[in-house]
Amino acid sequence: MDKATKLQFIYDLPKVELHMHLEGSLEPELMIEIAERNGVKIPFKSADEIRKASVFDSLQSFLDLYYLGHTVFATKQDFYDLAYAYFKRVSTTNLRHAELFFEAQEHTNRGVPLQAIVTGLDEACKQAQAEFGITSNLILCLLRHFDVDNMMALLKQAVEFKHLITGIGMSSSEHDKPPALYVDVFAFAKAQGWHVSSHAGEIGPAEYVRDSIELLGIERCDHGIGARTDASVVKLLSDRKVGVTMCPISNVLLNVTESIARSPLRQFLDANVKVCLNSDDPSYFGSTYVQENYDAVEREIGLSVREWIKLAQDGIDMSWADQLRRAQLQAELDAVKAKYNVRALYGVE
Ligand code: ADE
Ligand code: ZN
- What domains lie within the chain, and their CATH numbers? 3-346 (3.20.20.140)
State the pTM of this model: 0.98
Told to judge if 300 belongs to the known catalytic residues of this protein, a careful annotator would answer no
What atom in ligand 1 is closest to the CA of residue 21? 2
pLDDT of 200 higher than 90: yes
What atom in ligand 1 is closest to the CA of residue 141? 1
Q: Residue 216: what pLDDT?
A: 98
> 260-303, pLDDT tens digit by residue?
999 999 999 999 999 999 999 999 999 999 999 999 999 999 99
What percent of the chain has a predicted confidence (pLDDT) above 90?
A: 99
Q: Residue 46: what pLDDT?
A: 98
Specify whether the backbone of 286 is left (phi greater than 0), alpha (psi in -120 to 50) or beta. left
Pocket test for ligand 1, best of 280, 283, 284 (most atoms within 8 A of CB): 280
> 219-269, pLDDT tens digit by residue?
999 999 999 999 999 999 999 999 999 999 999 999 999 999 999 999 999
CA of 223 to the centre of ligand 2 (A): 7
Q: Which of 269, 288, 268, 272 is nearest to 280 (CA)?
A: 288
The span from the CA of 103 to the CA of 224, in Å, is: 20
Active-site choice (99, 174, 202, 307): 202
The span from the CA of 92 to the CA of 15, in Å, is: 11
Q: Residue 349: what pLDDT?
A: 86
* Rg value, the chain, Cα: 19
Mean pLDDT, the chain, rounded, equals 98
pLDDT of 67 higher than 90: yes
SS3 state of residue 101:
strand
Ligand 1: residue whose CA is nearest its atom 10? 172
Q: Residue 66: what pLDDT?
A: 98
Q: What is the mean pLDDT of residues 50-66?
A: 97
For residue 150, give the amino acid letter.
N
Ligand 1: residue whose CA is nearest its atom 7? 172
How confident is residue 198, by pLDDT bands cut at 50, 70 and 90? very high
CA of 222 to the centre of ligand 1 (A): 9
CB of 252 closer than 8 Å to CB of 219 = no
Q: Residue 36: what pLDDT?
A: 98
**CA distance between the termini of the chain:** 17
pLDDT of 189 higher than 90: yes
CA of 167 to the centre of ligand 1 (A): 17
Q: Residue 129: what pLDDT?
A: 98
Ligand 1 neighbours, Cβ below 6 Å, are: 21, 24, 59, 171-172, 199, 202, 250, 280-281
The span from the CA of 341 to the CA of 114, in Å, is: 48
> 36-57, pLDDT tens digit by residue?
999 999 999 999 999 999 999 9
What atom in ligand 1 is closest to the CA of residue 202? 7
Q: Residue 84: what pLDDT?
A: 98
Ligand 1: residue whose CA is nearest its atom 9? 172
Question: Could you give the residue ranges of the DSSP H alpha helices within 257-289?
Answer: 265-270
Q: Residue 186: what pLDDT?
A: 98
